[in-house]
Amino acid sequence: MITHIAVDIGGTRMRAASYTSDNLTPIKVNRIKTRKKNSTPLKRLESLITSVWPEEAEVAGIGIAVPGPVNSATGVIEKAPNIPELSGLPIASNMQAAFNVPAFLGNDANLAALGEWKFGAGRGHHHIVYLTISTGIGSGVIIDDQLLSGARGFASELGHTMLLPDGPLCSCGVRGHLEGLASGTAIAKWVAEQISKGVETSIAFDSSNQELIPGIVIAEAAQNGDILARQAFKRAGRYLGQAIADFLHIFNPTVLVLGGGVSQSYALFAETLYETIKTHVMAPEFLEDFTIALAELGDDVGLMGALALARESTGLSYP
């Protein structure tokens, strides 16, 4: 029996699971905290993989999703803002040496796109743009049945599309990127700003408090008809629509898959989003075979992406 191991490394916890080649239900699954005293994330990764190693089965490969840009040629995570201890480490070759099976590393958003393509909302499509909108905006692109990677594996950072040169600061430090205008963080910051200016709302907010208003609070207020909260989602929808019109011109996808916490409020900005895309697209033909779909894999998207990477990299076909 051939099996694969999938690992999803996050800033606070890492998960791993083993799968037979004909099934998406894991044989074994485990999760641990990414950090612990007297241990390194790499050591913890090794013991996590050991804990899901299947008995009496051959492991063909290990796929690992990491939060940061991955050099696809070397399997090194170049920069991990949430787990700086991993930056610059050859994680794939380390695991390969530790377990004596091939190991493959990918950026978590790119692998999420791969996962949704193989197992989720992108099934059957050959040209996909995947956006995950939560604290930030991550993305992955599949064109002609290939995950877009670029020279060093850094391609498809769609969250850093430039929309407003003098706009708000993005998490990357540059002004006016999509992420700084339409991510969950950007929505919460904009709402707080408006309240500080005296705009009326049902949202309770203490402007001396440095913490962001939780997304769920803004979403609930919008659902209950709060005008400011509704405007916040529409504003995000407009910026997303402008950027997506560009993505249609660049990639000509048949589906845009939307994931992440903000996508759960899709109904609050769907109309604005679609109208904005229509306004900015150069020709209506770009919309003819195009649909917008919500992501299907939820919290498992990282694991599913890592599994797809492991299976694909070891030449396995899909169930």
Query: Each residue of 247-260: b (16+ CB within 10 Å) or e?
Result: bbeebebbbbbbbb
Strand, helix or coil for residue 307: helix
Size of the site for Zn ion (CB under 5 A): 5
Give the range of 50-58, 66-74, 166-174, 239-247 binding Zn ion by CB under 5 A.
Answer: 166-174
State the nearest-atom distance from the C-beta of 54 to Zn ion, in Å. 41
Of 187, 192, 165, 191, give the one whose Cα is nearest residue 177: 165
List the beta strands (DSSP E) in the chain: 2-9, 13-20, 28-33, 58-66, 70-71, 76-77, 103-107, 128-133, 137-143, 146-147, 255-259, 291-294
Residue (97 or 169) nearer to Zn ion, CB: 169
The alpha carbon dihedral of 167, 169, 171, 172 has a sign of positive
Residue with the shortest CB distance to Zn ion: 170
Q: Which of 78, 109, 81 is nearest to 92 (CA)?
A: 78
Q: Residue 172, interface with Zn ion (CB under 5 A)?
A: yes
Q: How far is the CB of 160 from Zn ion (least distance, A)?
A: 4
Q: Give whichever of 178 and 245 is closer to Zn ion, judged by the CB atom.
A: 178
Q: Which is nearer to Zn ion, 28 or 160 (CB)?
A: 160
Residues 173-202 within binding reach of Zn ion (CB under 5 A): 174, 177
Of 280, 317, 295, the closest CA to residue 109 belongs to 295
CB 164, min distance to Zn ion, A: 12
Q: Letter for the amino acid at 12?
A: T
The reply to whether 160 sits near Zn ion by the rule CB under 5 A is yes
CB of 176 to Zn ion, least distance (A): 8
Q: Considering the complex, what minimum distance in angstroms separates the CB of residue 169 from Zn ion?
A: 9
Comparison of 240 and 293: residue with beta carbon closer to Zn ion? 240
Coil vs helix vs strand at 32 = strand
Q: Given the rule CB under 5 A, which of 82-90, 116-124, 129-137, 167-175 is the region that contacts Zn ion?
A: 167-175
Task: Compute the distance between CA of residue 273 and CA of residue 26 in angstroms, rounded to an integer.
Answer: 37
User: Whose Cβ is closer to Zn ion: residue 170's or residue 245's?
Assistant: 170
Residues of this chain that bind Zn ion (CB under 5 A): 160, 170, 172, 174, 177
